[in-house]
Structure 1
């Protein structure tokens, strides 16, 4: 019965049925409505007229789901190991990090589920229905298919309707279709095609849209989930949550590190077994090394870096709902944007006007106001039912734009209304396509009429030109038509106005006869001023802006050309064209289009999915209910904070507090810098950990004594996994980051030579540590391969190894400030957090080395200035080597 069945074979397209056919199919009575008994039976059969509540998981289940992650498993393993080693503080800290991350995840999941609740609240207003031949007001949840619903201005549509009566009926469908102008409805229209866009169905009305003008009667064709808004709720409730690129990379990294740690444990233990070493000691050492190989602070560091980024972005009007969305923004290469209210100002504005005296003039601060122009604007104001006071407005957006025109032209509207009060009117009618008002001006009268130019010109016999009223000729008609066509070619909506001076009051049937044509205005919902620069910046950064709108193709294309989104008509397509192509064909041609017009919510989702299927990372912006499914389907959903509906906000990953498209570009820049900072931290941690692993494997492999014992490994790991890694994550943004192309979808932490850098740095740090270790034995006159070496000699050699490996890691952290810019160019002090982290790290080394009980706990020895100079000389080598590599890399690029 409904018109929203998801199976096309079973859909009844009521817009293609006449009023009588619809009434018959729905088995109702147009004059008396359903009986209460029949209504109750249908309510039992169809269920309440509400969107189904989403089956929400319990908080406990959501919490457990947050823990089902490879990196979390690795962290749990690290907890067990550190607890086994007696490092209870480390274990507790790791557990706290896990619990905090899981709690944040639960909070975000609860917020996401609120999208359906917001839809349900929107969709339950009161409604006037006709039952048992009486008009009753009932809760809209009790409406059933076949109910006869009464509509009047200011009332929300309670369900999907086939209109059976309409009188000057206009409905604001912007939240569903994206059109900023209220749709005019005609109950008696019948369409021959089944599949036409929602915005073109003049004989239907849809749940949660608003009657702005006129009145009407409709028969309910769909309720609850079978409405158009119900389909949106169904899309939102689908459990197809995808992981962000950062989440995917961290998950993969966790799995890799977990396997590597296990392999290291097994390898060292096997080697030690065949070498005849003390197995208890080697077990503790191998476990400690496994802990060192896993940067258990990684999750905390990423959370800290993302949180810092979120705070910074909030100050720039970009509110992030999901932390990983910050990084994903930096990967975006497609920004799909709704037109109305996002790229445009969401208010109709008069751009041009034409009179026979002024010809066509654009509206700006220098507009010359002739007598005819003054008359044209005054007529538009007087023949209007809208209001506009102190920025607050009511009524049709077109009429509001005409009031604003008068203000821009410095016309005193209050003086107009007081000097020419309205005494009679003939309301707008969709068949006449015009309205007229009669005004008294002292002892005379004036009639004003405005409407569609092709209708109004037929009522005119004269024109006003150069201050005189002269007969209307074919030449005048041609000139006027050409002026209107020129405006239409720019996608401007045209509206003509005429008047008639009268000596006495006349009857309504004579209102629209022998009129005098004044001129025509052209208006449009104009682009936001700042959007052009933002789109140009995005283009330079390799980001394509795509317009997706429910508006007409010509209007959308005109705005797209002004903004630099599209240049050719072939770059625009419509929802109807998408309906005629399979999803596979849409995916193959998706790159050809920059503008998608007259689209439905399903089309938006399919478009987003098609872009993603081609390997793009897609951001979708929007503000209406109709945008919510595509916001949900995109990699990053961006909702408007001021004009956006609660549904759109809850379905999004980010909210623009200022509704400014340019804020998205700022957020993308921040996202890129944040990802770079995360990558710096990850690569630094892994390089340090590889250095520790190389040190231990080489020493054990060649038969050397153990260069670092378990407690020393844990200290090294704790030191490098905290201060320097977090400080790198707080690095200031690179001002050149928006000159780079977006990261490919398959990019990872090891791309662009980072993996090679980790291995080479690890090898260099490991070998330098071995050099310091072996040098310690030789300085005391011992061979490290000798038997019966005194324990104090082992401690001395391990002290040098311990100081060297930490020194290498601390100094080497400076080279991670930029992948190819030298630290001498970037500056040692431009990241004061990193400089402070290195200083604190060195001070902690002094404490460990020279506080007696700390020295004893870590089995170290205090050393003199000569040893410190040797350690410094070895520690600075990785930093200098990396800077030399950067110089050669830059010279090759040039």
Structure 2
């Protein structure tokens, strides 16, 4: 590792003289050898390839089989409808795929377009793509680092690395040190600079040790490239369902045709009926219904600040049981803030805004911090070091007029910050008087201070004063506050820099941190109540991370925190076993983040990962749901995510999970409804044919019923309003099938009940005319009457039964009969279409129907309501049974 080698050793290996740099000829030769300094993107699939990939699904294969069968039967309209469903589903998928996969392109855009390079002894500006290993790069404030560097020189150099490390403050760099630990965390490599990070202060010189894909950003790009796209639980479940339905349809078709063959029936007619029943047993509208429901959910979520990039990800949200969150900018405000200050009057908490009533000593402390600063802050926007911006905000909070202060106190000279002294001093002239203000490490100030400011008086510093200051520093440090001391001294005249930091008067110190977002604590608690665990993954220090996590209710003790170094020491196998014990992962690299996500997933968890930096991109892609911040997030993070938060609000994630649960429940309702209806048709046909009756439904009637119930009611169920109690439930098992719990029994019970009621209606049609289905030589008018009753009853049962599917335990009155207007409309429209078919003569003839008498209509209405009533009685029993269990 370059950072663990001396400057001389690195320069020797790279064969370069830092005073002259590479020659232009050598630079060109190395460019051919190492390639351009840019990131390689994964080869993109064409739109046609993406379209074909959408068709590689078992449910789609079954639908293609249905197309072939309907074409053989001459049912061209049905074939066209099924093809439209297939194409619509594929097009929706392609649109989502085209929007995805831009993570590497975003990384490429982040690379600096220009770099200052020393070649042939001359500093020149070149395109960053032409930088090669061995190039000497010049760094100055405001410039992005063009490649990975081993620093050779540094003067007050600070680099903002939050996108890579997650740290909220710029990292001071020191070229003189050599790190001996080969696996030093990224954020602690103080003698190195990394591609795509920003120089915020000072200047430096470095030798290029890595370009393109061999940089730290390149490693992230490589992880993104190699991370396989995972299927969501919904996609897996639908694929399994498609296989099962395909096998079931083929089996039904063969079985019924075989029975007809043994019974000596008309083979041509029975072939048509058996194939029609096979088509009817496949809910070909399922793929389109799922896509429609997901699209509706996406639209709804976008209005609530959550943009979904992949449709199936909506459903996956509903089964999330772990939220892995980055700290900086996600759980915290990504804004350093002074929370406490200490002077000889004691410790005080800073209230945001103008609610503070500071003493004169406290105002002097804030004044010193404001004047001894190079930052600016106005109208909510700041420039410069985040720490200094926080000190300016402290001045505002304590009621200082910073503009007047800067006008009245003119800066004469300064002694710039130095990493050895860890101090900064400025000399100011005010009304003919001169004052030095010094801020920096409190330990260093205590060594230089000879006096303290106490209750408006300057008194000699005593051992008791020193102990008070050290105790205050320790208390703040235990709370993960970053401490900064400040002192001053009046002088008679302009003095040199070295004299500024002698015989100082200590004013006190401040404690600052990047504070948590105010709304996050409530969201963490709400997630916990819903059985969702929140985990913090950050590049920041362990103590700092724990302090935030403890405040938010994420962790209870420090034992629940682990660092990246400790993860490496444990080893992969041991870590995978112990990962469930931790709530905080601190000082981690991008590789660690991916490792953590994979370890959690290996234990059967459905993991959501939130983040905003470049360093978060691989883990966002590895997670079941990657959630990027829309405001503070980098394009790389957004490109690698499944969902983007437009308000960067952690609470929106919990809200999105709630919506995801409701959307999945709606999809499940639609699936179970379709399968119940189709089972009812299968039961009707199978039992009647087995016992030797005439077919109660002909092919055209079966296809009409299938078309009617596979569309409007199912889609309307998918648009059901969300259940307000959904977050009181535990997360769904990711391996749970659609038929878990009592759902499978509901499908079987509902399907058999609908089938038996339809068979009874068919029998009643014979009985009404004085015949039995077992009789020979039954008039065709009687058969038509029986089939009409079966046809109308089956549709009525299915349409009314849709109301019962809205909730597994709540009655239709508890959920509200008219709260889903789409479903009421679908039922009314379905019944109206049935009346049109039977009322219009040519339609009636086309479907071989007969106008029913008064008894027939009464029977249709009564039998049609029975499944709904039985289901409602069953819900009452379930509610009573569950209450008894709770009481026990």
TM range (shorter): over 0.9
Q: Cα–Cα, structure 1 residues 124 and 506, in superposed 2: closer, same or farther, change >3 Å?
A: closer
Cα distance in 2, alignment partners of residues 359 and 718 from structure 1: 74
After TM superposition, the structure 1 = structure 2 runs for residues 84-99 of structure 1, keeping only pairs within 5 Å, are 84-99=72-87
Which region of structure 1 is more displaced relative to structure 2, 687-696 or 815-824?
815-824
Name the residue aligned to 2:57: 69
Q: CA deviation at 1:102?
A: 1.6
Q: What is the aligned length?
A: 882
User: 3-state DSSP class of the match of 1:341?
Assistant: helix
Name the residue aligned to 1:854: 843
Which of residues 473, 481, 492 is equivalent to 1:503?
492
- Kindly indicate whether residue 171 of structure 2 is the aligned counterpart of residue 166 of structure 1: no
Name the residue aligned to 1:260: 248
- Kindly indicate whether residue 306 of structure 2 is the aligned counterpart of residue 306 of structure 1: no
C-alpha RMSD of the superposition? 1.0
Which of residues 263, 267, 270 is equivalent to 1:279?
267
Q: CA deviation at 1:786?
A: 2.1
Cα distance in 1, alignment partners of residues 774 and 656 from structure 2: 58
Which of residues 249, 258, 267 is equivalent to 1:270?
258
* 8 Å CA contact 1:358, 1:373 repeated in 2: no
Name the residue aligned to 1:41: 29
Q: Deviations over 1:428-464 (max 9, x none)?
A: 1111101100000111101101001111221111111
Which of residues 723, 729, 736 is equivalent to 2:718?
729
User: 3-state DSSP class of the match of 2:100?
Assistant: helix
Cα distance in 2, alignment partners of residues 556 and 688 from structure 1: 54
Which of residues 751, 756, 764 is equivalent to 1:767?
756
Which of residues 304, 323, 328 is equivalent to 1:316?
304
Cα distance in 1, alignment partners of residues 104 and 310 from structure 2: 18
- Kindly indicate whether residue 669 of structure 2 is the aligned counterpart of residue 694 of structure 1: no
After TM superposition, the structure 1 = structure 2 runs for residues 628-667 of structure 1, keeping only pairs within 5 Å, are 628-667=617-656
Q: Deviations over 1:83-108 (max 9, x none)?
A: 33333233222222222222222232
Q: CA deviation at 1:877?
A: 1.2
* 8 Å CA contact 1:50, 1:124 repeated in 2: no
- Kindly indicate whether residue 699 of structure 2 is the aligned counterpart of residue 710 of structure 1: yes
Which of residues 358, 369, 380 is equivalent to 2:358?
369
Name the residue aligned to 2:876: 887
Which of residues 587, 603, 608 is equivalent to 1:598?
587
* 8 Å CA contact 1:724, 1:810 repeated in 2: yes
Which of residues 52, 55, 77 is equivalent to 2:40?
52
* 8 Å CA contact 2:96, 2:311 repeated in 1: no
Cα distance in 2, alignment partners of residues 691 and 887 from structure 1: 24
Cα distance in 1, alignment partners of residues 183 and 759 from structure 2: 75
Cα distance in 2, alignment partners of residues 94 and 680 from structure 1: 21
Name the residue aligned to 1:7: none
Cα distance in 1, alignment partners of residues 190 and 248 from structure 2: 65
After TM superposition, the structure 1 = structure 2 runs for residues 603-618 of structure 1, keeping only pairs within 5 Å, are 603-618=592-607
Name the residue aligned to 2:143: 155
Which of residues 583, 587, 603 is equivalent to 2:576?
587
Q: CA deviation at 1:81?
A: 2.1
Name the residue aligned to 1:107: 95
* 8 Å CA contact 2:144, 2:197 repeated in 1: yes
Which region of structure 1 is more displaced relative to structure 2, 656-665 or 20-29?
20-29
- Kindly indicate whether residue 574 of structure 2 is the aligned counterpart of residue 574 of structure 1: no
Which of residues 402, 406, 417 is equivalent to 1:417?
406
Name the residue aligned to 2:164: 176
Name the residue aligned to 1:397: 386
Name the residue aligned to 1:447: 436
Q: Deviations over 1:375-433 (max 9, x none)?
A: 01010010000011111111000000011111111210011111101011011111110
User: 3-state DSSP class of the match of 1:518?
Assistant: strand
Cα distance in 2, alignment partners of residues 100 and 849 from structure 1: 32
Q: Deviations over 1:739-763 (max 9, x none)?
A: 0000012111111111111111111
Name the residue aligned to 2:886: none
- Structure 2: gaps of 5 or more residues: 884-888
Q: Deviations over 1:62-95 (max 9, x none)?
A: 2111111111111112222223333323322222
- Structure 1: gaps of 5 or more residues: 1-12
Which region of structure 1 is more displaced relative to structure 2, 858-867 or 354-363?
354-363
Which region of structure 1 is more displaced relative to structure 2, 301-310 or 819-828?
819-828
Q: CA deviation at 1:124?
A: 4.0
After TM superposition, the structure 1 = structure 2 runs for residues 286-301 of structure 1, keeping only pairs within 5 Å, are 286-301=274-289
Name the residue aligned to 2:829: 840
- Kindly indicate whether residue 510 of structure 2 is the aligned counterpart of residue 528 of structure 1: no
Q: Cα–Cα, structure 1 residues 805 and 278, in superposed 2: closer, same or farther, change >3 Å?
A: same
Name the residue aligned to 1:459: 448
User: 3-state DSSP class of the match of 2:102?
Assistant: helix
Which of residues 105, 114, 137 is equivalent to 1:126?
114
Cα distance in 1, alignment partners of residues 775 and 349 from structure 2: 98
User: 3-state DSSP class of the match of 1:53?
Assistant: coil
User: 3-state DSSP class of the match of 2:358?
Assistant: coil
Cα distance in 2, alignment partners of residues 356 and 473 from structure 1: 12
Q: Deviations over 1:615-641 (max 9, x none)?
A: 000000000101000000000000000
User: 3-state DSSP class of the match of 2:273?
Assistant: helix
* 8 Å CA contact 2:350, 2:397 repeated in 1: no
Cα distance in 2, alignment partners of residues 420 and 254 from structure 1: 77
Which of residues 776, 800, 810 is equivalent to 2:765?
776
Cα distance in 2, alignment partners of residues 301 and 606 from structure 1: 36
- Kindly indicate whether residue 495 of structure 2 is the aligned counterpart of residue 472 of structure 1: no
Cα distance in 2, alignment partners of residues 145 and 107 from structure 1: 41
Q: CA deviation at 1:239?
A: 4.9
Cα distance in 2, alignment partners of residues 266 and 872 from structure 1: 34
Which of residues 815, 825, 848 is equivalent to 2:814?
825
User: 3-state DSSP class of the match of 1:819?
Assistant: coil
Cα distance in 1, alignment partners of residues 531 and 102 from structure 2: 34
Cα distance in 2, alignment partners of residues 159 and 682 from structure 1: 53
* 8 Å CA contact 1:353, 1:363 repeated in 2: no
Cα distance in 1, alignment partners of residues 539 and 16 from structure 2: 33
- Kindly indicate whether residue 371 of structure 2 is the aligned counterpart of residue 382 of structure 1: yes
Q: CA deviation at 1:362?
A: 4.1
Name the residue aligned to 2:661: 672
Q: CA deviation at 1:337?
A: 0.2
TM-score when scaled to structure 1? 0.98
* 8 Å CA contact 2:88, 2:288 repeated in 1: no
Q: Deviations over 1:549-584 (max 9, x none)?
A: 000000000000000000111000001011112222
Name the residue aligned to 1:563: 552
